Structure 1
């Protein structure tokens, strides 16, 4: 792999021989490392860091959200998946919303709040694969929730932009004197500390039953929700079998629906029909091909991906090599196509992702989110649990595979990933950024496979993505590239925010080292020991 020019701005890849965590906030990465040094494994470290991220980046995630994970318990062992996404309340239905005159689930209302699944997932992972126990794993987050965390620069920027989405009790919990906290100010969440103490002592019952559940249900019903204590008590995560696809000898592992991971696999397969390595890494031709492949893959996502427990999915068709070949044949290398279907997802930045590899080479790829910034913008009255708005991922179109229904999981944008080569996990990684995530996964994959970039270079490079008909090119692209793409028929613009935020840990088994990379678009870092 190529090395960076040390006379140019950039980050070195972090190298260690023991364990490592790469995530979007330094306190979370440091917490993960400390937990491993205390005898914990990668699962313990991932849970401890993830829960803390809900305090360091509360606009991105929190205990009122969902999580997904890929875990390899040890070298040579099968990779297992965990789907800890919540379901719509049993009494909810698309028909009832249509009767109210709605054509889409409102973003900032109790209608969009699915039951939080993350805590159940963390408890299951801890019980089945952790080493320390929840009391030790949650102790750092409890301490920081009480004492407070200094607000980081990127977090402060996002918080200020999205504070207007908060309403009711949430404004008291997540604003300081009615405004977003500034960089360096201390954010505290004593109510969440109490919730986490109950989870540490009682497990999932401390969250899904008793006073915490009563607080959440009463708060949601006061906002017009139909949630019940039974909905919370029934929450249960599932172990799932990952799906995968090959790209030039590298295997991309993703979680199956209701997440959108299959979209990344399809997009990579489409691009495998083009000689990407012969193109300029950040030139117009590559950006064009990726954009066209994304249009086709995302159209398939919008038609096929839903809760497999409630509808029959055509996943095999979506991932078939023949499907990718037929779609690739639709791409004109010289001209932009009209979108085959309007992309139903906007680019959302409100997710946290982390990679952890421990000294025994247990590997965890975990993603954790409340969806939009501060989710629904609602919080429980007593404990200040911020509710996700994942229900906005449902369709209200009658008969659609992803049509909202009680007890059903919505199509999810958050997707953890791994790369595997010759049967062994090479790199856990993820790219935060809502709808952008599959395209971000493919950009990381091709940066490394086609252009020989090391993980930090693969993360640092400029990104492109089409949102609402506009091809957004980060400022790292030249004006000449913008002009060429405009001439090819793309509507080109500069995105208002950076596209996504990535984390990765490359496992060099031959040398016994780990190489960590963290996105400069966020506040975080990779740390090892």
Structure 2
């Protein structure tokens, strides 16, 4: 009788499903059809924060509730993320942000990436590499450490747009650093993989990031009082504590004692840069990205190429659409490998790369089969861990921010007493003296991390971003086309089936290198296998899974009501929250 009672209790639900038209089933079963979504968007009116760690989301949200704006919330959430997800970011790394400032009605872009040691010349670098028997800059070596730019990025944003005191912004991150927080599931898994690999690096890595010699388990309380003390110095003394005061002096001493190359002067002379964001119009939407030494231009180039195809006609997750995506990516990435570099040292030819005419010419190279021989169309004179977060406030300000150590927990070099690991972004310099991205002292290396922003009719429409090294341009294009071409909401756009292509020429390669095979296409496991067979028939090499498809956050603003729609990565620990 117990089973009968259970059956009759669900019978009304079964009958209601049977009476609903097939087209509406996706409203009930989010696994049905193409519009896969694990949960609803978060909808709120006065403010929104989306990060990959729920406690960090709450830190940003509390700043908004206390009267801070979106810029303040982004800084506070980023500080919390560096503590709570050190496997992807921290103040030993760099930062990029795109900001919509409602009062001035403008989009602003900030390049807060650091530069190579000014005292290490190209010839000296090559001699050191020869002595070490290395052909490239090794990732876990002091040669790969560039000046961390994140802290200066915080204070540069705050000075121009912030409203709350920095003491209030950093109060909760300081509390969590000193009193501890329970480590979330996906972060714990990455952390536990990293500790055995990095714990023998010179410095204080193990005492800072390990518990009994291992990374913290899921739910285990972790504290980082040294980072808390660093935050206190920043709150009371400002950015100069990091670049001209006690922290810079500690780093200078430690580098000299351990054979490092950064010096006090590198920190003293560091500054972030407000730059002109790059933009193109895609089907009536103005898409903004970071240019220069950042790969955001690839997003715009891919969209320019794809605009010549009717994606709504070819359809979501079809072999024809994937073929167009993959080939557009190959074309854009050959330009990425040859032209994206620090604009202080190299003039990036945006007038050509982002023109509709150039896109038309490149589009002609897409045929019915996979291309395996490509290079850039302009004459020339991959895995990383990152976090992306986004915020919005009641006044209409919106922040798209990305921050990274590059390889997971970075180099693993921790100056005792500071609480953070240095990034290894310097690994991404080319050593070809003729390449725009070649190493030079005081130069910013190529970066994979990109914040995204979309406008519609002069109004802010959407912030978006996803971590994941070279995957990021592909992720941005997928999110944008999922919304604009395939009509998905923000959570559906991020939850939908993902693809990735690897094997393109890299900005670290020689200037004469180019694509010589079809590369490898990876698609998440829920793909219809007939699509795989169709792609293989076109000449693509396809694997199911076995790749990294990034993690996303996004906020969309209703252009009529001003209501925010937040979305976050459901594959891991992400959370969007509003009020």
Which TM-score tier does this pair reach, normalised by the shorter chain?
over 0.9
1:176-230 Cα deviation digits (max 9, x unpaired):
2122211111221111111110000010111112321122223333443211101
Q: Which residue of 2 aligns with 1:336?
A: 370
2:38 aligned with 1:6, yes or no?
Answer: no
Q: Which residue of 2 aligns with 1:128?
A: 160
Give the distance between the partners of 2:445 and 2:570, measured in 1 at CA.
31
Q: Which SS does the other structure have where 2:27 is aligned?
A: coil
Unaligned runs of 5+ in 2: 1-23, 32-37, 377-381, 504-518
Give the distance between the partners of 2:144 and 2:217, measured in 1 at CA.
29
Q: Which residue of 1 aligns with 2:536?
A: 486
1:129-176 Cα deviation digits (max 9, x unpaired):
111111100111111111112111111122233334412321221122
State whether residues 398 and 463 of structure 2, in contact with CA within 8 Å, keep that contact through their aligned partners in structure 1.
yes
State whether residues 110 and 275 of structure 2, in contact with CA within 8 Å, keep that contact through their aligned partners in structure 1.
yes
Give the distance between the partners of 1:72 and 1:484, measured in 2 at CA.
42
Q: Which residue of 2 aligns with 1:202?
A: 237
Q: Which SS does the other structure have where 2:46 is aligned?
A: coil
Deviates more, 1:167-176 or 1:82-91: 167-176
User: Could you say if the C-alpha distance between residues 104 and 75 of structure 1 is closer, same or farther in structure 2, counting changes exceeding 3 Å?
Assistant: same
State whether residues 374 and 386 of structure 1, in contact with CA within 8 Å, keep that contact through their aligned partners in structure 2.
yes
Q: Which residue of 2 aligns with 1:278?
A: 313
After superposition, the CA RMSD in angstroms is: 1.7
Give the distance between the partners of 1:384 and 1:341, measured in 2 at CA.
44
Where do residues 103-142 of structure 1 align in structure 2 (5 Å cutoff)? 103-142=135-174
User: Could you say if the C-alpha distance between residues 339 and 17 of structure 1 is closer, same or farther in structure 2, counting changes exceeding 3 Å?
Assistant: farther
Q: Which SS does the other structure have where 1:337 is aligned?
A: coil
1:280-314 Cα deviation digits (max 9, x unpaired):
31122211211111111011011000000122222
State whether residues 216 and 385 of structure 1, in contact with CA within 8 Å, keep that contact through their aligned partners in structure 2.
no
Q: CA deviation at 1:339?
A: 5.5
Give the distance between the partners of 1:75 and 1:284, measured in 2 at CA.
45
Q: CA deviation at 1:379?
A: 1.4
Q: Which residue of 1 aligns with 2:14?
A: none
From 187, 192, 204, the equivalent of 1:160 is 192
2:53 aligned with 1:25, yes or no?
Answer: yes
2:349 aligned with 1:314, yes or no?
Answer: yes
From 63, 67, 76, the equivalent of 1:39 is 67
Give the distance between the partners of 1:173 and 1:116, measured in 2 at CA.
18
Give the distance between the partners of 2:523 and 2:126, measured in 1 at CA.
37
State whether residues 44 and 126 of structure 1, in contact with CA within 8 Å, keep that contact through their aligned partners in structure 2.
yes
Q: Which residue of 2 aligns with 1:513?
A: 563
Q: Which SS does the other structure have where 2:106 is aligned?
A: coil
2:146 aligned with 1:143, yes or no?
Answer: no
Q: Which residue of 2 aligns with 1:175?
A: 210
Give the distance between the partners of 1:41 and 1:157, measured in 2 at CA.
33
State whether residues 126 and 133 of structure 1, in contact with CA within 8 Å, keep that contact through their aligned partners in structure 2.
no
Q: Which SS does the other structure have where 1:12 is aligned?
A: coil
Where do residues 379-398 of structure 1 align in structure 2 (5 Å cutoff)? 379-398=414-433
Deviates more, 1:4-13 or 1:196-205: 4-13
User: Could you say if the C-alpha distance between residues 220 and 6 of structure 1 is closer, same or farther in structure 2, counting changes exceeding 3 Å?
Assistant: farther
User: Could you say if the C-alpha distance between residues 220 and 466 of structure 1 is closer, same or farther in structure 2, counting changes exceeding 3 Å?
Assistant: farther
Where do residues 261-300 of structure 1 align in structure 2 (5 Å cutoff)? 261-300=296-335
From 520, 524, 527, the equivalent of 2:574 is 524
Q: CA deviation at 1:341?
A: 5.5
Q: Which residue of 1 aligns with 2:292?
A: 257
Q: CA deviation at 1:412?
A: 0.9
**TM-score, reference length from structure 2:** 0.88
Q: How many residues align?
A: 523
State whether residues 383 and 407 of structure 2, in contact with CA within 8 Å, keep that contact through their aligned partners in structure 1.
no
2:537 aligned with 1:501, yes or no?
Answer: no
User: Could you say if the C-alpha distance between residues 428 and 407 of structure 1 is closer, same or farther in structure 2, counting changes exceeding 3 Å?
Assistant: same
2:358 aligned with 1:323, yes or no?
Answer: yes
User: Could you say if the C-alpha distance between residues 380 and 75 of structure 1 is closer, same or farther in structure 2, counting changes exceeding 3 Å?
Assistant: same
2:221 aligned with 1:186, yes or no?
Answer: yes
Q: Which residue of 1 aligns with 2:395?
A: 360
Q: Which residue of 2 aligns with 1:426?
A: 461
1:448-500 Cα deviation digits (max 9, x unpaired):
11111111110001111112332111112122222222222222123435401
Give the distance between the partners of 2:29 and 2:486, measured in 1 at CA.
21
Q: Which residue of 2 aligns with 1:60?
A: 88
Q: Which residue of 1 aligns with 2:264?
A: 229
Q: Which residue of 2 aligns with 1:71?
A: 99
